[in-house]
């Protein structure tokens, strides 16, 4: 995505203000993205934000940016320490971190949440935060792809052993087989990109996210999107689904 907003309020939390307030291209959408690894959710997030003129609020971006900062809130500091120990960040810590940035949820440009919520408890907390900001969630776009295609996509990834750049044997092959275009390092298949590892991860993902999917399905907010085809085709499906939603969001 070429137009990257500064998102200072999201990265820093507290009293931080964004220099560039987004102007939605139409009504401001407030969305959550769901989907397992390999469905192209990150690509869709960028395309959707560009098409809708909304802001991409990724919890992963917050954690990555925090690695380069020294001044953290207690919640973010505790979350980083848990990650360094290889532990899962608790629902309470994640919710606290998002709560510190809850002003972003009422941004006039809308938002696209990526990476949060991950559990039903986090989804309940998000609804409470949205109510406090006097806004509503328009939809939860759930990107779906058959397991076999997910395995094919992820097992074809190759990662540079030096600079960690990522290639794909068919979708994004290097100029020279097995050699990184950027630094000349050796391209390897990570252990978690092997087919047997991917299937284990997918089973774990489905088990852990089922309560979350059930929560949004029961409230009628989950919208399934087929993640087959080109990124542009999938984007068109997503935009068509949004146009046909019968919702009455708060503004």
Token pair, residue 246, equals: 């019968």
| Below-70 pLDDT ranges, the chain | 1-6, 69-70, 246-251
- Largest pairwise CA distance in the chain: 54
pLDDT at 3: 46
Alpha-carbon distance of 59 to 33, in angstroms, equals 12
Alpha-carbon distance of 79 to 161, in angstroms, equals 28
pLDDT at 35: 92
Alpha-carbon distance of 3 to 47, in angstroms, equals 11
Nearest to 55 by CA among 112, 129, 108, 98: 112
For tokens 């097995």, the residue is 178
Alpha-carbon distance of 1 to 4, in angstroms, equals 7
What is the per-residue pLDDT across 198-239, written as a single tens digit (0 to 9) for each? Answer: 999 899 888 889 999 999 999 999 999 999 999 999 999 999
pLDDT at 2: 37
Alpha-carbon distance of 238 to 22, in angstroms, equals 20
For tokens 């990526």, the residue is 114
Contact 99, 129 (CB under 8 A): yes
DSSP secondary structure of 5-18: ---HHHHH-TT---
Nearest to 238 by CA among 31, 68, 1: 31
Nearest to 122 by CA among 165, 91, 76, 78: 91
CB burial string 209-232: b at 16+ within 10 A, e below = beebbebbeeeebbbbbebeeeee
- Say which of 5, 50, 118, 226 is annotated catalytic: 118
- Say which of 7, 101, 153, 157 is annotated catalytic: 157
Token pair, residue 231, equals: 């990124």
- Say which of 5, 50, 199, 201 is annotated catalytic: 201
Domains of the chain: 8-145+224-243 (3.40.50.300)
pLDDT at 248: 45
Question: Catalytic residue at 64?
Answer: no
What does DSSP say about strands 111-114 and 55-58: parallel, antiparallel, or unpaired? parallel
Token pair, residue 202, equals: 């997918």
Total-model pTM = 0.82
Alpha-carbon distance of 97 to 156, in angstroms, equals 35
Question: Catalytic residue at 41?
Answer: yes
Question: Catalytic residue at 194?
Answer: no
- Say which of 190, 194, 199, 226 is annotated catalytic: 190
Contact 184, 174 (CB under 8 A): no
Helix (H) or strand (E) holding 112: strand 111-114
Question: Catalytic residue at 190?
Answer: yes
Token pair, residue 228, equals: 């087959």
- Degrees to nearest 5, angle at CA 107 with 106 and 113: 80
- Say which of 41, 101, 153, 158 is annotated catalytic: 41
């Amino acid at each position: 995505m070429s137009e990257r907003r500064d998102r200072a309020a999201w990265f820093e939390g507290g009293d931080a203000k964004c220099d560039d307030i987004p102007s939605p291209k139409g009504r401001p959408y407030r969305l959550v993205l769901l989907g397992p690894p390999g469905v192209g959710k990150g690509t869709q997030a960028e395309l959707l934000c560009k098409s809708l003129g909304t802001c991409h609020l990724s919890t992963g971006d917050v954690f990555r940016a925090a690695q380069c900062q020294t001044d953290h809130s207690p919640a973010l500091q505790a979350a980083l320490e848990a990650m360094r120990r290889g532990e899962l960040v608790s629902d309470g810590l994640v919710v606290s971190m998002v709560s510190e940035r809850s002003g972003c949820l009422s941004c006039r440009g809308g938002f696209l949440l990526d990476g949060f919520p991950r559990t039903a408890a986090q989804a309940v907390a998000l609804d409470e935060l949205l109510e406090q900001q006097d806004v509503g969630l328009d939809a939860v776009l759930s990107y779906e792809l058959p397991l076999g295609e997910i395995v094919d996509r992820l097992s074809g990834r190759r990662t540079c052993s030096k600079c960690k750049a990522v290639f794909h044997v068919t979708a994004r092959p290097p100029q020279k087989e097995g050699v990184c275009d950027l630094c000349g390092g050796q391209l390897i298949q990570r252990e978690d990109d092997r087919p047997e590892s991917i299937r284990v991860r997918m089973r774990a993902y489905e088990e852990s996210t089922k309560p979350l999917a059930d929560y949004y399905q029961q409230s009628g907010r989950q919208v399934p999107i087929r993640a087959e085809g080109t990124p542009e085709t999938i984007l068109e499906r997503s935009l068509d689904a949004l146009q046909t939603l019968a919702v009455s969001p708060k503004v």
